[in-house]
Amino acid sequence: MTSESIDASSARRWRRAFALVRESLAGREHDYTQGGIGRAVVLLAIPMMLEMAMESVFAVVDIFWVAGLGAPAVAAVGLTEAVLTLLYAVGVGLSMAVTAVVARRIGAHEPKAAAQVAGQTIWIGVGASALVAAVGVPFAPEILELMGAESDVVAGGAGYTTIMLGGSLTILLLFLFGAVLRGAGDAALAMRVPMLANAINIVLGPLFIYGVGPFPKLGVTGAAVATNIGRGVGALFALYWLVNGRSRVVVRLPDWRPMADVLLNLLRVSFGGVLQFVIATSSYIVLMLLISAYGSAAVAGNTIAYRILVFTFLPAWGLSNAAATLVGQNLGAGRPERAERSVWVATKYNVIFLGAVAVVLVAIPEPLVRIFTSEPDMLAYAARALRVVAVGFPLYAVGLIMIQAFNGAGDTKTPTWINVLCFWVIQLPLAYALARPLDFGPTGIFVASAIGESLLAVVAWLAFRRGTWKLKVV
């Protein structure tokens, strides 16, 4: 083969790849129960990867702007985010149920039933956020103290915690409306929602934190104000597309009226999803409590490392969400074998992606940490955490797809038991033992975290191969 023909072949491959990317971002309607599986995974995964990356930008932006206020401010954001992970657990658990049920209805060609599911999500979001605000708003300082915050962190960060917990409705609605769009296969539109929300947050963040121009100087509290405004506008944008008749799920006024049977089915399916993420996030909170014993620099360093990990790791959630949508739609269409093949294709792509990310994080974490801080202690803790945790990324890639495949099928109980074993039975006792009796300190906690996640991947893979998820009815 001549060099000219090789160049021409390479050019054709690049053109096809760019055409596929453009098609995925354009949001054209596709039947994901037909055609090539690799193509279906890519069409869904690219916008979903960008969507998840946009979700992680919220926390990264807050840390970036707040880092200039010092370690106590960063610690306040980190400890509040640790508490908010419980809310994220509820949001992710509920959204998994919404995605699974909507995907089943779309796969079975029942758009009206999918619209009813979408209409009931707002009631779930309002109810859950009211409970969070009722506890979080009046007890914000006490919550920070319970998390082990030092007095200067509580004094400066209580306002941030109050607004973030009080504005939980914007978080939940962004999760739930995005879940409806993903379940319907409208991944490109789901991607645009957090993009808009982030653009607003990026602009307003420094204005409210540092008091630029006519904006009040609110310090770390300003980060919460900007974040909630951005999320609120994003949720309204998603709502607009669900009711304007141009999305794949069109919600009419009757669909918003409470429907006991639809709500109960959603809550039934979501219970396991919420519980599995409560288990995982409560484990993270306990890890943060262990780290807080080593001072604000350790907490702030771990917070920065976690934000970097989230930013690099969450695009892999796009692939896992693509797998969940394909599992749900293909099971709804009566094609379980195609659903399984979709999972294996997504797993291959995810291992390649996270393996490449791991190489970078293990080799050169310091330049990434310096984007947020130059303080030696914070930098050292953050770089060490990144190196230790990133070693297991290829295994995490497998576990992430397997868990989301279960959830996409509506089988949320299996991942719940896996989380109990890997996080509560293994990870937490190991973290305590390594940090305290064996005196490895925060490094021991980082090692325990990596071991727990790696074990989860192995157990989830073994459970998935049994195939009982194909029989789940939602």
Residue 6 lies in a domain: no
Nearest to 31 by CA among 110, 113, 118, 107: 107
Indicate if the pLDDT at residue 1 is higher than 60.
no
Residue type, 275: L
Indicate if the pLDDT at residue 59 is higher than 60.
yes
Taking the C-alpha atoms of residue 244 and residue 445, their distance in angstroms, rounded to an integer, is: 49
Which residues are CB-contacts of 181 (< 8 A; sequence separation ≥ 6)? 187, 189, 190, 193, 238, 241, 242, 247, 248, 249
Give residue 420's pLDDT: 94
Highest mean pLDDT among 36-45, 54-63, 324-333: 324-333
Taking the C-alpha atoms of residue 322 and residue 268, their distance in angstroms, rounded to an integer, is: 23
Taking the C-alpha atoms of residue 452 and residue 433, their distance in angstroms, rounded to an integer, is: 14
- Our count of domains for the chain comes to 1
Taking the C-alpha atoms of residue 462 and residue 467, their distance in angstroms, rounded to an integer, is: 10
Residue 16 lies in a domain: no
Residue 11 lies in a domain: no
Highest mean pLDDT among 6-20, 288-302, 449-463: 449-463
Region 98-112: mean pLDDT is: 90
Residue 424 lies in a domain: yes
Give residue 251's pLDDT: 92
> 60, 305 in Cβ contact below 8 A?
no
Residue 93 lies in a domain: yes
Q: Chain centroid to CA 96: how far?
A: 11
The whole model's pTM is what?
0.79
> 100, 407 in Cβ contact below 8 A?
yes
Residue type, 24: S
Region 327-345: mean pLDDT is: 93
Range of the domain at 98: 33-471
Give residue 450's pLDDT: 93
Region 219-241: mean pLDDT is: 93
Give residue 214's pLDDT: 92
Residue range 402-435, pLDDT digits in tens? 999 999 998 989 999 999 999 999 999 999 999 9
Give residue 176's pLDDT: 92
Give residue 474's pLDDT: 74
Residue 27 lies in a domain: no
Indicate if the pLDDT at residue 48 is higher than 90.
no
Give residue 27's pLDDT: 67
Which residues are CB-contacts of 374 (< 8 A; sequence separation ≥ 6)? none
Long-range contacts of 78-81 (CB under 8 A, 24+ apart): 78/288, 78/299, 78/300, 78/302, 78/303, 78/306, 79/144, 79/147, 79/148, 79/149, 79/153, 79/157, 79/161, 79/288, 79/292, 79/299, 80/144, 80/157, 80/160, 80/161, 80/164, 80/165, 81/303
Residue 446 lies in a domain: yes
Residue 81 lies in a domain: yes
Indicate if the pLDDT at residue 391 is higher than 70.
yes
Q: Residue 394: which H helix or E strand, with range?
A: helix 393-408
Residue range 4-42, pLDDT digits in tens? 655 666 677 778 778 777 878 776 777 888 888 988 888
> 383, 446 in Cβ contact below 8 A?
no
> 164, 220 in Cβ contact below 8 A?
no
For residue 387, name the pLDDT band (cuts at 50, 70, 90). Answer: very high
Which residues are CB-contacts of 364 (< 8 A; sequence separation ≥ 6)? none
CA angle 101, 104, 108 (to 5 degrees): 140
Give residue 29's pLDDT: 75
Average pLDDT, the chain: 87
